[in-house]
Amino acid sequence: MRKMLTIISNVLRGSASRNGARLVVSARTYADFTPQASFDIKNCDVHKLEEGPPLQAVLTREEGLQYYRTMQTIRRMELKADQLYKQKIIRGFCHLYDGQEACAVGIEAGIKRSDHLITAYRAHGYTYTRGGTVREIMAELTGRRGGIAKGKGGSMHMYTKHFYGGNGIVGAQVPLGAGVALACKYLGKNELCVCLYGDGAANQGQIFETYNMASLWKLPCIFICENNQYGMGTSVERAAASTDYYKRGDFIPGLRVDGMDVLCVREATKFAAEHCKSGKGPILMELLTYRYHGHSMSDPGVSYRTREEIQEVRSKSDPITLLKDRMLSNNMVSVEELKEIDVEVRKEIEDAAQFATTDPEPPLEELCNHIFYNEPPMKVRGISPWIKLKSVS
Amino acid sequence: MHNSLDPRQRTQSNMAYLRSILRSGKNAVPAVLRREFHRTLQAAMQVTVRDAIKEAMDEELERDERVFLLGEEVALFEGAYKVTRGLWKKYGDKRIIDTPIAEIGFTGIAVGAAMAGLRPVVEYMSFNFSMQSVDHIINSAAKTYYMSGGLQPVSIVFRGPNGAAPGVAAQHAQCFAAWYGHVPGLKVVSPWSAEDAKGLLKSAIRDDNPVVFLENEIMYGVPFEMSEESQSKDFLIPIGKAKIERKGNHVTLVSHSHVVSRCMDAAAVLAKDGIECEVINLRTIRPMDMEAIETSVLKTKHLITVEGGWPQFGVGGEILARIMEGPGFGYLNAPAVRVTGVDIPMPYAKLLEENTLPQIKDIVFSVKKMLNV
C-alpha cells in the first residue's frame, strides 16, 4: 500500500513539475515520512556548571525543513553577495557567513522572536534570521533605497526589530548587548539578549568589563563566542593566551558547543536561555564553527590556512549537509523535496539580486536625513559655504 | 538662627547648620541661605550650579520611569563632586547605578540600554575619562540613527565636569568641547549659570538624541539667582540657542562655560573705561547659534571668542570660520580673534596654571588691542 502511494505520488509530482505547478508534498507527509526523530548530539564541555545541555535532540520534520531552508537561504545569499562583490556591484566591506549557518539558525531556534540579539559585522545571516528579507538585505549591500537601512548603512549596519546590528567596531557590540539586557531586566520583560562576538574580539578589554558588570548585576545575557578559528588572518593560537573561550568569562559559567550542528546549537541555546531567564545572570557559549570565505571579500583566505583544511571542513562538517544527511537517513524528507527547496531558494535569491541591482540608489535630497530623531527640519552645511542642505528626522 | 525652637532642637539645628558649612566648604553661605529660603519659596532664589544640575535630574527621574543614572560613585558616595547627592536615597539601586571603573564597558552598556528604549544619563567623573569611551559615544551613539536609515534612535545623555579645574594638572584638565563639537549626530551643550544647567539638562534628558553635557567643576559651587519661572518642573531651555548675558555696543565677546564668568568680569572692568562689551553665553556648542553671534557682530563690528580650550581646531576657530563664510564678515571693522588657553598641556604650579587660561586681564588686553585703545 505504501509503495503504491509512493509510486502514485511520484507520478503526480513528476507531472506537476512539468506543468510548472508546485505540488504540495503533503500527499506523502503522513504516509511516508518520519514525523520526528531523536538524534544524538555531541557532549558540550562545561565550565562552572554542574551539567550541560541534553545529549539528545528531537527534530520534527517541520523543524528540519525550516532549518534546512533557512540555512540554504543564508548560504545562497552569501554566495550571491560574493558574486556581486566580484562584479563590483557591492563595495567596501563584505564579511560572509557561509559555513557558519548552523550558528545563526540554531540560536534563533533556541530563543524567542521577542528576545534580543546583537552581533558584529558578519551579520547578514542574523539579519535574515531576525526577520529581514533577502531582498532588503541584498539591496542594502548594493546601497539602494530599498535596502533595510535605506542604503545608508551597508553590510555592517543592518537593523530589524530586536536586532541591533551589524556593528563595525570589533567588540563594541558586547557591552551594547549587555545594555540591551539591562533594559530587559529594568523593564521586567522576561526577555534576554544574545551578544555575539568572534574569537578575535574575545581578547578585547571591553568584553571583560562587560563580563564583570553583567555578572555583578545579573543581566540576562547570553554571551556567544563564534570561534571560527581565525581572527582575520590570525589563528586562535597566535592571538590568545587561552583558546578556551568558553572559560574566559571566569566567574561566568560556560559551555563549548559544536557550532556545525544546528541541533547542538539549538539545545545549548535553550539551555543557556533557561539559565538566564531563571535569574542566574549571564552565561557564555563558545560555538566551534568555520567560515569558508576569507575574513572579508578582500581576503582570499588561503594565506593563513590551507585549501585542504577548508576542503576537509566542507566535506566532513558542512552544517547543511549534516542536517540533510540526518533527515534523509531517517526518512524524514526526500531528496526531491530538498531539491525543490533548493530551487525555490535559488529563485528567491535571484529575484532579490535582480531587485538589488535594479533598484535606484537613495535620492540625493535625502543625503542629510536621519541625523536626529524627532527633530524639526534643519539645515546642514554642505561641501562649500554656499550650499545648505535640508535634513529631516 | 532658629530662636523659636526649644534648646535641644536648637542645638540639633545648629549642628546641622555647622555640618552644612563644613560639607559645602567655601560655599557655605548659599547652602545655608537655601535652607532658609526653602520654607518661604516662590521668590527668586540663590541656587548653586551643582544643585541646579541635581534638581534637573531629580525632576526628570520623577517624570519618566525610563530615565536612570549610572557612573562611578553616583549612588552611595553621592557623586564624586556631590552632584547626585540624595538621588540614590530617593530612587534606589534600580535607577541610580554605581559602576565599576570601566568607562568603555559602562558607556557601551548605557548606549545599548538606550537602543532598547531606556533613557540613560551617564556620568563621567571627568570628561577626560570619556576618552576611554569615545568609541561608544561616537560610533555606537552619534552615528547610529543615520547608519540605520532612521531605524534606531539613541536617547542618551553623557554628562560630567569638563575643562579646567584648579590644580588637577594635564591629564585631568582638558576641554572636550571641540572634540565632541566636531561630530554630526551629537548635540553638545556647555552651560554656564545655574539656570543654564537646569534648563539645558532637562532638555538634554528629554531629547531623543545623544547629548554631551559639559559641566565645569569650577562652576559647581557658584550660586546664581534662579528666577521663579526657572523653578518650575517644566522649565526647559532649548538646545541650540545662545543667551546675551550682557548688552553692549563696542565689542562682542563669545564664550561658554566657566569662561563666561571671566568675560563678565572683564566687561565690568572695561565699562569703567567706557567700553561696553556684549557678552554672549553660547550655551550650546553644537548646534551653534551663529545667528545670535551675527546679530551681535552687526551691531558691535568687533568679535572676540573666549574659551578655556586649546586654540588649534577649537570652538573659537569654528566661530571665526563661520563668520568669514557668512554675512558677519562684511560687518567687521577689524579681524575677529580668538582668546584661548595656551597651546600646552595644563601645568600644575599655580603661577603656571594661572598663565595658561584666559584671565580678566587677558580679555581686557585683547579688547583694547582690537579697539586700538
Give the three cell numbers for residue B348.
600644575
Complex confidence, ipTM: 0.90
What's the predicted TM-score (pTM) here?
A: 0.89
Average pLDDT of chain A to the nearest whole number: 93
CA triple B164-B135-A132, angle to 5 deg: 150
Assess whether A247 and A317 both reside in one domain: yes
Assess whether A113 and A164 both reside in one domain: yes
Assess whether A240 and A93 both reside in one domain: yes
Report the residue from B112, B117, B209 with minimal CB separation from A176: B112
- The residue assigned the cell 545572570 is A281
B103, B124 in Cβ contact below 8 A? yes
Give tens-digit pLDDT for A246-303. Answer: 999 999 999 999 999 999 999 999 999 999 999 999 999 999 999 999 999 999 999 9
- State how far residue A254 is from chain B, nearest Cα, in angstroms: 21
Q: Would the CB atoms of B109 and A172 count as touching at under 8 Å?
A: no
Assess whether A244 and A372 both reside in one domain: no
CATH number, position A48: 3.40.50.970
Least confident of A26-30, A31-35, A361-365: A26-30
- Smallest Cα–Cα separation from B1: which of B38, B46, B36? B36
Assess whether A261 and A375 both reside in one domain: no
Q: Which residue of B has its CA nearest to A177?
A: B112
For residue A203, is pLDDT > 90? yes
Report the residue from B102, B116, B184 with minimal CB separation from A180: B116
Report the residue from A172, A375, A385 with minimal CB separation from B325: A385
Give tens-digit pLDDT for A141-181. Answer: 999 999 999 999 999 999 999 999 999 999 999 999 999 99
B172 annotated active-site:
yes
- State how far residue A127 is from chain B, nearest Cα, in angstroms: 13
- Our count of domains for chain A comes to 2
The residue among A148, A164, A378 with the most chain B CBs within 10 A of its CB, best to mutate, is A164
B325 annotated active-site:
no
Q: How does DSSP assign A276-294, residue by residue? A: IIIII--EEEEEE---SS-
Report the residue from B108, B110, B185 with minimal CB separation from A172: B108
In a domain, A317, yes or no: yes
- The residue assigned the cell 546641622 is B16
Q: Would you state the pLDDT for residue B210?
A: 98
The residue among A162, A176, A191 with the most chain B CBs within 10 A of its CB, best to mutate, is A176
Res. A59 pLDDT band, cuts 50 70 90: very high
Res. A321 pLDDT band, cuts 50 70 90: very high
A166: phi then psi, degrees, rounded to nearest 5: 55, 85
Catalytic residue among B73, B172, B276, B353: B172
In a domain, A6, yes or no: no
Query: In b/e form, how buried is each residue of B340-354, taking b as 16+ CB within 10 angstroms?
Result: bbeeeebbeeeeebe
For residue A100, is pLDDT > 80? yes
Give the three cell numbers for residue B365.
588686553
For residue A127, is pLDDT > 50? yes
Q: Which domains does chain B have, with CATH numbers?
A: 46-231 (3.40.50.970), 243-371 (3.40.50.920)
Beta bridge partners of A165: none
Assess whether A388 and A334 both reside in one domain: no
Assess whether A166 and A191 both reside in one domain: yes
Calculate helix-pair angle for A319-329, A101-110, nearest 10 degrees: 60
CA gap A320, A68 in Å, rounded:
7
- Give B-chain residues touching A186 at CB under 8 angstroms: 68, 94, 113, 118
Query: In b/e form, how buried is each residue of A259-270, taking b as 16+ CB within 10 angstroms?
Result: bbbbbbbbbbbb
B300, B278 in Cβ contact below 8 A? yes
Res. A15 pLDDT band, cuts 50 70 90: very low
Give tens-digit pLDDT for B17-68. Answer: 555 544 444 444 444 444 444 444 556 799 999 999 999 999 999 999 999 9
- State how far residue A59 is from chain B, nearest Cα, in angstroms: 33
- Give B-chain residues touching A385 at CB under 8 angstroms: 325-326
Q: Which residue of A has its CA nearest to B326?
A: A385
CA gap A164, A118 in Å, rounded:
5
B203 touches chain A (CB under 8 A): no
CA B286 to mean position of chain CA atoms: 13
Q: Would you state the pLDDT for residue B40?
A: 47
Assess whether A65 and A165 both reside in one domain: yes
Res. A32 pLDDT band, cuts 50 70 90: confident
B330: helix, strand or coil: helix
Q: Would you state the pLDDT for residue A342?
A: 98
Report the residue from A118, A187, A370 with minimal CB separation from B149: A370
For residue A18, is pLDDT > 50? no
What single-letter amino acid sits at A141?
Answer: L
- State how far residue A211 is from chain B, nearest Cα, in angstroms: 9
β-pairing, B45-48 with A378-381? unpaired
Assess whether A94 and A116 both reside in one domain: yes
Q: Would you state the pLDDT for residue B42?
A: 56
Res. A4 pLDDT band, cuts 50 70 90: low
Assess whether A243 and A375 both reside in one domain: no
CA gap A71, A261 in Å, rounded:
12
SS (HEC) of B23-78: HHHHHHHHHHHHHHHHHHCCCCEEEEHHHHHHHHHHHHHHHCCCEEEEECCCCCCC
B140 touches chain A (CB under 8 A): yes
- State how far residue B99 is from chain A, nearest Cα, in angstroms: 8
Strand ranges of the sheet holding B243-246, from the earlier edge strand across to the other edge = B243-246, B277-281, B251-255, B303-306, B337-339
Assess whether A246 and A376 both reside in one domain: no
B67 touches chain A (CB under 8 A): no
Q: Would you state the pLDDT for residue B79?
A: 96
Assess whether A378 and A326 both reside in one domain: no
Extract the residue ranges of chain B whose pLDDT is less than 70.
1-43
Catalytic residue among B55, B60, B78, B103: B103
The CA-atom distances, in angstroms, between B350 and each of A287, B168, B347 are 58, 10, 8
Q: Would you state the pLDDT for residue B44?
A: 78
The residue among A372, A383, A389 with the most chain B CBs within 10 A of its CB, best to mutate, is A372
CA end-to-end span of chain B: 52
In a domain, A180, yes or no: yes
Per DSSP (E only), the strands in chain B are 45-48, 67-71, 96-98, 119-123, 156-161, 187-189, 210-215, 223-226, 243-246, 251-255, 277-281, 284-286, 303-306, 337-339
Q: Would you state the pLDDT for residue B16?
A: 53
For A371, the domain range is 365-392
For residue A104, is pLDDT > 80? yes
Q: Would you state the pLDDT for residue A9?
A: 52
Per DSSP (E only), the strands in A146-266 are 193-198, 221-227, 230-231, 234-235, 254-258
Q: Would the CB atoms of A373 and B106 count as touching at under 8 Å?
A: no
For residue A20, is pLDDT > 50? no
